[in-house]
Structure 1
């Protein structure tokens, strides 16, 4: 939806109040991330924009209560004609269902009409991990690309956390002076998506990288302050890490898929290839569902089949 479209979006006061209550519920009780809340609000506003045109006026709760499956299909069809991808359409439908389920719990509408709509099929895209040798080259690289030794040590420490512990970049950058993995530490407590906590083991190489960074860093982390600093002493921006990885992959001759997040994929894939248990890997990654973790078995199978095709005598 464009800025000009947003000016045309309207709803009756009762529906706007319900949307506000729903978003408050998602933020305070379900503790969804701010980015998720913004995406949900944008999707529901796009639906209101459609309803305003579809019904010929600003919708209210009474209009929502009377919606039929055909109305939801018409919304999805319009989004498709507008060039919106399947993943975004499915997310919009999930947001609408969440809102209607919230209203149904309060006896305000019946959510059955939206529940019967099937989301569009998603194109299956597998994570793109680095080969184990390339992942080690990244974390072991001599970071001479940076002018300041402490900045090079900082980047190395962050990337080592991603590959050594399977952290998301946001999780690594959320570490504080109090939660920094110091020498002798065996585990690390991480607060992931939705505020969910998990414990991950720490390899000595991780604590060594962090200690090396701290010994060179011109700033002193406070107990509740950021562990990783930007050049001017503020919290490290994730874009800086992404840019550092971009320079590094250019220097090492790695593909564009070698991103900071690819190191987390590499952590999971290499653990699985080494005989790691899928449930354990799920816990280490902080995945809510095992099905999310199972995608790494497809990567392992794909590599096995590729090796088989290359090695089998009948395929030569």
Structure 2
């Protein structure tokens, strides 16, 4: 399978050699496609190809309508070329209903979560790990029964009574086993007197743990952190959306806006000139 860059290069050559596009139009298309390629996901699924440009749609959401339309025209033209000329069927995920949120959720940095975990009790560690490690809603954790926890999966019943299965990280599975051996709950993971701890009780315990470290945190912030950290490490938005139990990926898209610091870090790692200084130093 050709890489997306190679396919786009072929499309641009086609515009010049066959369609006779002007240099200005070619540049506009090339810029739009390059920007799209940098943040989008291109993968094969069930013998078909998928191009998920939702992160790119979010990235350009604040631009004027004409600019957005021009960039999307370039992408749609490229897909039409790939389907008709390269015989490559592609399903486009474009997040058509994207809107710019008034404010973005503020995730907790991973290092701070790790610091809190290091000094937490066994029960506190499990509480944090279930919210941050699985992206659970606090209501989902409050009602989580032992029968829903399997060796490799946790079955969660979320909003609208929808059921989703979440992969259980080995570290969290070991933590659950240790917790069960020490606390021996009967029906619910977190319970007192055979009655599940409610959302307010779990929320109070969580905020108290982080407050002792000078951090203001909520259960929903840990869910934000789960999603943001996955996306920042390259996870596909479609997968994260499914893990979160969102009805549509339009809800998940608010997590795709990377912070300025991360953008700069990625730029410094990727651009050839960023390594020139270190190379020169090694030669001295």
Q: TM-score, normalised by structure 1?
A: 0.49
- In the alignment, structure 1 segments of 5+ residues that lack a partner are 1-120, 144-151, 309-316
The answer to whether the 8 Å contact 1:287/1:293 transfers is: yes
Q: Does 1:134 align with 2:112?
A: yes
- C-alpha distance 186-297 of structure 1, shift in aligned 2 (>3 A): same
Give the Cα separation in 1 of the matches to 2:123 and 2:194.
13
Which residue is 1:279 aligned to?
A: 238
Partner of 2:226: 267
Count of aligned positions = 173
Alignment of 1:228 with 2:205, yes or no, is no
Q: Using the alignment, how far apart are the partners of 2:261 and 2:148 within structure 1?
A: 37
Give the equivalent residue in structure 2 for 1:65: none
Cα offset, 1:266, TM superposition: 0.7
Matches within 5 A, 1:242-253: 242-253=203-214
Residues in 1 aligned to 2:235 and 2:100: alpha-carbon distance in whole angstroms: 28
- 2:105–2:221 CA contact under 8 A, matched in 1: yes
Q: What is the Cα deviation at residue 191 of structure 1?
A: 1.2
Give the CA RMSD over aligned residues: 2.9
Where do 1:106-121 residues align within 5 Å?
Answer: none
Pair 212,142 (structure 1): closer, same or farther in 2 beyond 3 Å: farther
- Say whether 1:304 aligns with 2:262: yes
Deviation of residue 186 (structure 1)?
Answer: 1.6
Q: Name the structure 2 match of 1:237.
A: 198
Residues 253-274 of structure 1: CA deviation (Å, up to 9, x unaligned): 22x2x21221111111111111
Gaps of 5+ in 2: 1-98, 267-284
Name the CA shift for 1:303/1:286 in 2 (closer, same or farther; >3 Å). farther
Give the structure with the larger strand fraction. 2
The separation in 2 between residues aligned to 1:156 and 1:124, in whole angstroms, is 33
Instruction: Name the CA distance, whole Å, in 1 between partners of 2:129 and 2:167.
Output: 13
**C-alpha distance in 2 between matches for 1:305 and 1:166:** 24
The match for 1:207 among 170, 173, 176 is 173
